[in-house]
Amino acid sequence: MRNSAFTGIELEVLLKTFGLNHLVITGFATSCAVLSTVREAADRDYAMTVLNDCCNDRDEEVHKMLMEKIFTKQAEVMNVSEWEKSLSI
């Protein structure tokens, strides 16, 4: 079983084709798929925003620790309403 969004599909080819270099990441299993995707995207030099209220994990403490201590080192972490405001010009 592979966990990253980059595994098993040509995601990076699509992103490069459309000139996309900033990812907005959401998902279920913060400690699995979301973590794997964030780490791989960082290794591939993508800028990222992780929407903390659009991710979930069975273990709330793990979810909180990842959002507050791990993801903040590689991505901007915010909730949906903050992200929507950041898109307003």
CATH number of the domain bearing residue 21: 3.40.50.850
**pLDDT over threshold 70, residue 22:** yes
**pLDDT for 9 beyond 90:** no
Residue 4 lies in a domain: no
Longest dimension (CA), the chain: 41
pLDDT at 2: 75
Q: How many domains does the chain have?
A: 1
Which pLDDT belongs to residue 34? 97
The residue segments making up the domain with residue 41 are 11-80
Q: How confident is the model at residue 77, as a pLDDT?
A: 98
pLDDT level of residue 1 (50, 70, 90 thresholds): low
Q: Measured at the alpha carbon of residue 29, what is the angle toward residues 15 and 17, in degrees to the nearest 5?
A: 5
Phi, psi (rounded to 5 degrees) for 79? -95, 175
Query: What is the Cα–Cα distance from 17 to 3, expressed in whole angstroms?
Result: 23
Q: Which two tokens stand for residue 75?
A: 């991505």
